[in-house]
Amino acid sequence: MPEPHVMAIDLGTGSCRALIFDRGGHQVAMAQREWSHPPLPGAPGSQQFETARNWPLICECIRESVAKSGLPADSIKGVSSTAMREGMVLYDAAGAEIWACPNVDSRAGDEATALINAGDARRIFDTGGDWVSITSPARFLWIRNHQPDVFARIAHMGMLSDWVLTRLSGKYATDPSIGASSGLFDLAKADWSPELIRLIGLDPGIFPEVLAPGTVLGEVTGKAAAETGLAAGTPVVVGGADTQMGLLGIGRTTPNAFTLVGGSFWQSTVVLDRPLIDPEARLRSLCHVMPGQWMVEGIGFYCGLTMRWFRDAFCDLEKAQAAERGVDPFVVMEEAAAKVPPGSNGVLPIFGNIMNAKRWVQASSSFVQFDIDNPATSGRKECIRAIEESAAYIALGHMRIIESLTGYKFNEIVFTGGGAKGHLWPQVIADVLGVAVKVPEVKESTALGAALCAGLGAGIYKDLAATAAEVVRFERTFQPDAAAHATYTTLFDQWHAVYGRFLEMGDAGLLRPLWKPAGA
């Protein structure tokens, strides 16, 4: 009999993936499809999650992953999911999807502003730990105001990782980690808040049951088996939110450790044994996947997607070289950027911003301070390094806020996710933050966390924390360079000041921001 394996389905902002792991936590196969989220015509700031288009992409990933593994479908003993937070899917009474959006949909500006002016936004934040800019309260109000026919038909709601489970099993449920990102949770109770639900004028009956990660929700239906190639009857297991699953996938199941999860967005986070809420409403707080634990995080907007954009917009040469060598284009890009000194020869990056949940505007994207007299030292490779430095500056800003909130002082962090696959980016982070940076062997730790949940539900594992401690292995530790850290400490202050000026130009209408949340 083949060894039992599990599958994790991971929905990110920029792509979906299906990954297969063995019982020892080793990644056996992976398939990925990139996607985007188009606006709804006539709805400024909107982004749609196209369920009809995206589900076939997920099915392709599942089939390809199984094919790559060489395993029979019935050797997959459990399947679970993880996804970006905040995005949600609404269904009618027949179970048809009638509305869906990803995490950064910001169409509900007027509704968010109304909640802020009424004082309800602060009430929601103090109860649920997140602002109304990209959570469901303002979105539900937008639907009521702009699509009343859709609002009247809402019979069920779910978050995006819940949607995958519903597609596979036909059943509805959520877990505390991703349910909390709805903005309608009572954070301390790790459950839906009847008070906040009534505040928005919603029927509590539309909200799914809250189950712990690792709970068996149902089985792969015949229809889902035909679509995905998975065996009918395979256990479908509750997973959870991407960052929290990433923490589980690197063994972060106890408080007080700082982690940087580098995907499309980057999350700087610490696990806590209490539901700590930032009194200044800068960072957000959510439930962890482990019972009785929470987390505080700052989010780096589009850190990974910015690098993907630069690859596709400017790096045809590097992509061609990568194809010749049979490596990922990012390998060639980092090799070039590694020749550039700290500070990118003066090129300053203007992309994501340090998080301020109550007004988290992202400045107009730009590189500034090119030296046109020296093209050999002020070009594409400097931009690549500058993008990496930008992400590290944001992480430093978040680490400082977290240290001030918690009283902790971090001398070591773990860096995981797609950004941790290279060798330059972890070193840049070590140098900017001035701490040792540990990188795990399995960089897809978010998917590994979901796979551990699938294994728990399938009976392969007995305990999430113990299994994570057993299977997580670290590949390398990057030590900070003292001289580089001193340079970056000064450059961080310069970058932060320049970024503020770009925000001012956006506020004056001179530049279009990269992103402006609802109610900002």
Question: 5-250+449-474 adopts what CATH topology?
Answer: Nucleotidyltransferase; domain 5 (3.30.420)
What element of type H or E holds 493? helix 482-507
Give residue-wise pLDDT tens across range 250-265: 999 888 889 999 988 9
pLDDT value at 520 more than 80: no
Measure the CA–CA gap between 440 and 432, rounded to whole angstroms: 20
Task: Take residue 71 and report the two structure tokens written for it.
Answer: 């395993």
The CA-to-CA distance between both ends of the chain, in Å, stands at: 57
**Helix 329-337 × helix 303-314 angle, to 10°:** 90
Query: What does the pLDDT read at residue 518?
Result: 83
pTM of the model: 0.90
Residue 417: pLDDT band with limits 50, 70, 90:
confident
What element of type H or E holds 471? helix 464-471
Mean pLDDT of the chain: 96
Residue 78: pLDDT band with limits 50, 70, 90:
very high
pLDDT value at 117 more than 90: yes
Mean pLDDT of 408-416: 95
Measure the CA–CA gap between 345 and 386, rounded to whole angstroms: 9
pLDDT value at 2 more than 80: no
Distance of CA 53 to the CA centre of its chain: 21
Measure the CA–CA gap between 329 and 310, rounded to whole angstroms: 11
Query: What does the pLDDT read at residue 74?
Result: 95
Instruction: Render 199-247 in DSSP notation, one character per residue.
Output: HTT--GGGSPPB--TT-EEEE--HHHHHHH-PPTTPEEEEEEEHHHHHH
Task: Take residue 151 and report the two structure tokens written for it.
Answer: 């609002």
β-partners of residue 477 are 438
Closest CA to 139 of 118, 154, 127: 154
Q: Which of 156-160, 415-419, 430-434 is the least confident region? A: 415-419
C-alpha distances out from residue 385 to 283, 405, 424, 473, Å? 27, 30, 9, 28
Give residue-wise pLDDT tens across range 98-111: 999 999 899 999 99
Where is pLDDT greater, at 437 or 519?
Answer: 437
Instruction: Render 285-340 in DSSP notation, one character per residue.
Output: EEE-SSTT-EEEEEEETTHHHHHHHHHHHH-HHHHHHHHHHTS-HHHHHHHHHTTS
pLDDT > 90 fraction of the chain, expressed in percent and rounded:
94
Mean pLDDT of 268-288: 96
Query: Helices in 27-91 by DSSP H: which ranges?
Result: 51-69
Mean pLDDT of 8-31: 96
Measure the CA–CA gap between 97 and 89, rounded to whole angstroms: 7
Give residue-wise pLDDT tens across range 288-326: 999 999 999 999 999 999 999 999 999 999 999 999 999
Site of tokens 């991407």: 242
The answer to whether 183 and 173 have CB atoms below 8 angstroms apart is: no
pLDDT value at 331 more than 90: yes
Query: What does the pLDDT read at residue 283?
Result: 97
Closest CA to 334 of 279, 396, 274, 384: 384
300: Cα within 13 Å, side-chain hemisphere: 32
The answer to whether 363 and 499 have CB atoms below 8 angstroms apart is: yes
Residue 135: pLDDT band with limits 50, 70, 90:
very high
Mean pLDDT of 66-79: 97
Measure the CA–CA gap between 13 and 85, rounded to whole angstroms: 9
472: Cα within 13 Å, side-chain hemisphere: 27
Give residue-wise pLDDT tens across range 225-248: 999 999 999 999 999 999 999 999
Measure the CA–CA gap between 84 and 425, rounded to whole angstroms: 22
Measure the CA–CA gap between 309 and 34, rounded to whole angstroms: 12
Query: What does the pLDDT read at residue 1?
Result: 64
Measure the CA–CA gap between 243 and 510, rounded to whole angstroms: 35
Q: Residue 395 phi/psi, 5° resolution?
A: -60, -40
List b or e across 298-327, with b for residues whose CB sees 16 or more CB atoms inside 10 angstroms: bbbbbbbbbbbebbeeebeebbebbeeeee
pLDDT value at 10 more than 70: yes
Query: What does the pLDDT read at residue 349?
Result: 98
Pairing of strands 294-300, 266-272: antiparallel
